[in-house]
Amino acid sequence: MLKLLKNFFFPKATAHDLPQNNELYIGNIDYKVSYHDLKKTFGDCGEIVSLKVIKDNQTGRSKGFGFIRFKTVKDAKKALRLNGSQLKSRKILVTFAKKRYDEA
């Protein structure tokens, strides 16, 4: 009974519950990772439409995160498999990017 209640109030997410979005957030990126490093790492997942490493305006140093947009949602879902993988000295975080308010 307890398990039934737990599943009712806290259902497990499935692949079908993921938002239909072709843009991914890449976090915990080593500060030395470049645009080319990310393109090489994610290139096998599908066609990359855009890729951006976010940098500090004053120093030009990476802020440790970026965004990748794939041509299709299917390609973005393939790239989710890289979540937790090692890139240079860190394990990266790969999730669907949240829509910004100005895009809604």
Read off φ and ψ for residue 95, nearest 5 degrees: -140, 165
pLDDT of residue 14: 45
CATH fold of the domain at 19-99: Alpha-Beta Plaits (3.30.70)
- Over the stretch 47-75, which tens digit does the pLDDT of each residue have? 999 999 999 999 999 999 999 999 999 99
Around Cβ 68, how many Cβ atoms within 10 Å? 26
Is the separation of the CB atoms in 48 and 70 below 8 Å?
Answer: yes
Where residue 100 falls among pLDDT bands split at 50, 70, 90? low
Q: How far apart are CA 8 and CA 2, in angstroms?
A: 10
- Over the stretch 17-54, which tens digit does the pLDDT of each residue have? 556 689 999 999 999 998 899 999 999 999 999 999 99
Average pLDDT over residues 72-99: 93
- Paired residues of 92 in beta bridges: none
Domain ranges (residues) in the chain: 19-99
- The structure tokens listed for 38 are 């990310």
Sheet containing 93-96, strands listed edge to edge, beginning at the edge strand earlier in sequence = 48-55, 62-70, 23-27, 93-96
